[in-house]
Structure 1
């Protein structure tokens, strides 16, 4: 009986952590926008370690900027920074709604989808393809000096 309660308790904690993580993901860009810090987004140095070292964007580069511009209502600029920005918003809202519902009802709706290998492979292929195209576009539109300026090696 104790192991069943322990398992349920671990699942509940994981759901709470998922809700908190999704909420923080949505709120950080919102606070950047709210407190006027979004003015510097296009000119400030990226905090991405890969971009700082190489000058090339990683697959997640631009997500925060994408979320900020999405919140501003500039959907084109949001998609320009990272096509996954609006998807992150939708995923976080769905995660909060579903996990909260699971905690309240004590039923699981999301587990089969969350741990679906086929869906994970499809998303991984889409992300890799998007990043490959993004890197080609980045190299085509930036000189070596521009790329170095994006890094810490200016």
Structure 2
């Protein structure tokens, strides 16, 4: 296996492990959900073929998976990857704003009171 394939496989493995065992640092610090919050829950329902629940928790999971696959198979075409990442980032920001306006502070965009800032101000 050449070094580029080894690096790619390593990145995919790290992303997979982060997806499974990851706690959002933004939510730990501020209590507010980040743009990627609930992707793990969305993946859980997607793997169970419960598409409506998956889309409810994060509608951009499937485009994100598509983006990862495109990056893995087109890693030599840097211009295309750059364009795809810009489109994906804009979609994530717009979708995040929509979710915060429509759902926050209710499910799936909940506020976590067990955050660091709340803890500090509660004890000062």
Instruction: Report the TM-score, using the length of structure 2 for normalisation.
Output: 0.65
**Map of 1:1-154 to 2, 5 A cutoff?**
13-14=3-4, 16-26=6-16, 47-99=23-75, 108=76, 110-116=77-83, 119-139=84-104, 141=106, 147-149=111-113, 151=115, 153=118
Show CA shifts across 1:99-142 (max 9, x none): 5xxxxxxxx4x3230133xx544333222111111111233647
Q: In the aligned structure 1, how far is the partner of 2:99 from the partner of 2:32? A: 10
RMSD over aligned Cα atoms:
3.3
- Specify which structure has the higher proportion of helix: 1
Name which one, 1 or 2, has greater alpha-carbon Rg: 1
Instruction: Report the TM-score, using the length of structure 1 for normalisation.
Output: 0.55
Structure 2: segments with no counterpart, 5+ residues: 120-124
Q: Determine if contact 2:24/2:37 at 8 Å carries over to the other structure.
A: yes
Structure 1: segments with no counterpart, 5+ residues: 1-11, 33-45, 100-107
